[in-house]
Chain A
Amino acid sequence: MNNSRSFHFHVPPQNSNGGKTTYTHESSIQERFNDPYEQLVALLNERERNRLDMLEEMLKDQSNRANIISEVLPEAIARRGLKDSRMNKAILPHVMESLQTLFRKKPQLFIDALFPIIGTTIRKSISSSIAGILQNISQGLEHAFTLRGLRWRLEAWRTGRSFAEVVLSHTIAYRVEQVFLIHRETGILLEHLALEEGTAQDPQIVSSMLSAIRDFVRDSFSMSPDETLERIRVGDLTVFIEQGPQALIAAAVRGEPPPQISDILRIALENVHKDLRVELAEFSGDVSPFILARPILEECLIQKDRERKKGLGIIFWILLVSILAAMGYGAYTYGKFVYGNYKLQKELDAQLNAEPGFQLSQVRINIFTGEASLVITRDALARQIDQILRERGLNPDHFKLTERLVVSMDPKMIEQRVFEKLSPIPEGVNIQVIGDVLYVSGRARDDFIQRIERSWPAVMGLSGINTSNLENLDAELLAERKKTQEQLALELQRKINEIQNVNILFDVNQPNPREDQLWKIASVANDFKQCLEIAERIGREVMLVIVGHTDPTGQLVENDILGNTRANRVLSMLLDQGLHMQNLDTRGVGPAVNVSVPEGINPNDFRRRVSFRVQQASLIGRTSDIFASEN
Chain B
Amino acid sequence: MIQKKICMLGVPGVGKTSCTERFVKNIYSDVYHSTIGVKVDKKIVHVDGTPVTLIIWDLAGENNFERYRTSYLKGSSGYLFVVDLTCASTYEDGLNILRKVEDSELGNLPYAILFNKADLMDRWEISQETIHQIAQHAPVFITSAKTGDGVEEAFMTLASMMLQADQQPAS
- Contacts A204-B3, A212-B36, A216-B36 known; A185 to B42 CB distance under 8 Å? no
Does A288 lie at the interface of the complex (its beta carbon under 8 Å from any beta carbon of B)?
yes
Q: How far is the CB of B66 from chain A (nearest CB, A)?
A: 13
Interface residues on A, range: 20 to 34
Residue of B nearest to A186 (CB): B75
Chain B residues whose CB sits within 8 angstroms of the CB of A218 once the complex forms: 71
Q: Is the CB of B69 within 8 A of A286?
A: no
Q: Is the CB of B1 within 8 A of A187?
A: no
Q: Is the CB of B27 within 8 A of A286?
A: no
Chain A residues whose CB sits within 8 angstroms of the CB of B27 once the complex forms: 201-202, 205
Does A406 lie at the interface of the complex (its beta carbon under 8 Å from any beta carbon of B)?
no
Chain B residues whose CB sits within 8 angstroms of the CB of A189 once the complex forms: 3
Chain B residues whose CB sits within 8 angstroms of the CB of A187 once the complex forms: 5, 40, 55, 75
A284 vs B74: C-alpha distance when bound (angstroms): 13
A351 vs B129: C-alpha distance when bound (angstroms): 130
B-facing mask of A530-543, CB < 8 A → 1, else 0?
Answer: 00000000000000
Out of A183, A204, A284, name the residue touching B53 (CB < 8 Å). Answer: A204
B interface, over-half SS: mixed
Chain B residues whose CB sits within 8 angstroms of the CB of A183 once the complex forms: 75
Does B111 lie at the interface of the complex (its beta carbon under 8 Å from any beta carbon of A)?
no
- Contacts A185-B74, A218-B71, A285-B4 known; A204 to B55 CB distance under 8 Å? yes
Q: How far is the CB of B127 from chain A (nearest CB, A)?
A: 37
A185 vs B57: C-alpha distance when bound (angstroms): 13
CB-CB contacts below 8 Å: A204-259 with B: 204-205, 208-209, 212-213, 215-216, 218-219
Chain A residues whose CB sits within 8 angstroms of the CB of B28 once the complex forms: 205, 209
Q: How far is the CB of A96 from chain B (nearest CB, A)?
A: 15
Q: Is the CB of B74 within 8 A of A208?
A: no
Q: Is the CB of A212 within 8 A of B40?
A: yes
Q: Is the CB of A285 within 8 A of B40?
A: no
Q: How far is the CB of A333 from chain B (nearest CB, A)?
A: 67
CB-CB contacts below 8 Å: B21-54 with A: 27-28, 32, 36-38, 40-42, 52-53
- Contacts A212-B57, A213-B36 known; A286 to B75 CB distance under 8 Å? no
Does A188 lie at the interface of the complex (its beta carbon under 8 Å from any beta carbon of B)?
yes
- Contacts A185-B74, A204-B3, A285-B4 known; A216 to B69 CB distance under 8 Å? yes
Out of B2, B41, B42, B57, name the residue touching A285 (CB < 8 Å). Answer: B2
Chain B residues whose CB sits within 8 angstroms of the CB of A195 once the complex forms: none
Q: Is the CB of A209 within 8 A of B69?
A: no
Chain A residues whose CB sits within 8 angstroms of the CB of B38 once the complex forms: 212, 216
Chain A residues whose CB sits within 8 angstroms of the CB of B72 once the complex forms: 212, 215
Does B76 lie at the interface of the complex (its beta carbon under 8 Å from any beta carbon of A)?
yes
Q: Is the CB of B166 within 8 A of A284?
A: yes
A624 vs B120: C-alpha distance when bound (angstroms): 169
A296 vs B23: C-alpha distance when bound (angstroms): 36
A219 vs B41: C-alpha distance when bound (angstroms): 22
Q: How far is the CB of A627 from chain B (nearest CB, A)?
A: 153
Chain B residues whose CB sits within 8 angstroms of the CB of A185 once the complex forms: 74-75
For chain B, the count of residues having a C-beta within 8 Å of the partner chain is 27
Out of A204, A208, A219, name the residue touching B69 (CB < 8 Å). Answer: A219
Q: Is the CB of A186 within 8 A of B74?
A: yes
- Contacts A185-B75, A205-B28 known; A285 to B69 CB distance under 8 Å? no
Q: Is the CB of A188 within 8 A of B5?
A: yes
CB-CB contacts below 8 Å: B75-104 with A: 75-77
Chain A residues whose CB sits within 8 angstroms of the CB of B40 once the complex forms: 187, 205, 208-209, 212
Residue of B nearest to A210 (CB): B40
Does A287 lie at the interface of the complex (its beta carbon under 8 Å from any beta carbon of B)?
yes
Out of A202, A215, A219, A286, name the residue touching B42 (CB < 8 Å). Answer: A202
Residue of B nearest to A217 (CB): B36
Residue of A nearest to B37 (CB): A216
Q: Is the CB of A285 within 8 A of B3?
A: yes
Question: Which among B3, B71, B75 has the greatest number of chain A C-beta atoms within 10 A?
Answer: B3
A-facing mask of B1-29, CB < 8 A → 1, else 0?
Answer: 11111000000000000000000000110
Q: Is the CB of A208 within 8 A of B71?
A: no
Chain B residues whose CB sits within 8 angstroms of the CB of A285 once the complex forms: 2-4, 52, 77, 162, 166
Q: How far is the CB of B94 from chain A (nearest CB, A)?
A: 22
Out of A212, A213, A287, name the residue touching B1 (CB < 8 Å). Answer: A287
Out of B36, B52, B55, B77, name the residue touching A205 (CB < 8 Å). Answer: B55
A61 vs B107: C-alpha distance when bound (angstroms): 50
- Contacts A201-B27, A204-B55, A212-B38 known; A287 to B3 CB distance under 8 Å? yes
Q: How far is the CB of B36 from chain A (nearest CB, A)?
A: 4
Chain B residues whose CB sits within 8 angstroms of the CB of A286 once the complex forms: 1-2
Q: Is the CB of B76 within 8 A of A287?
A: no
- Contacts A188-B55, A205-B40, A208-B57 known; A215 to B3 CB distance under 8 Å? no
Chain A residues whose CB sits within 8 angstroms of the CB of B1 once the complex forms: 286-288
Q: Is the CB of A215 within 8 A of B71?
A: yes
Chain A residues whose CB sits within 8 angstroms of the CB of B2 once the complex forms: 285-287
A212 vs B69: C-alpha distance when bound (angstroms): 10
B interface, CB within 8 angstroms of A: 1-5, 27-28, 32, 36-38, 40-42, 52-53, 55, 57, 69, 71-72, 74-77, 162, 166
14 further A-B pairs in the complex, CB-CB below 8 A; given A205-B40, A205-B55: A186-B74, A187-B55, A187-B75, A188-B55, A202-B27, A204-B42, A205-B42, A208-B5, A208-B42, A209-B28, A212-B57, A213-B36, A216-B38, A286-B1
A-B interface, 7 closest residue pairs, ranked by CB to CB distance from nearest: A186-B75, A215-B71, A185-B75, A208-B40, A216-B36, A285-B2, A188-B3
12 contacts between A and B (CB under 8 A): A186-B76, A186-B77, A187-B5, A188-B3, A188-B75, A189-B3, A202-B27, A205-B55, A212-B40, A215-B74, A285-B162, A287-B2
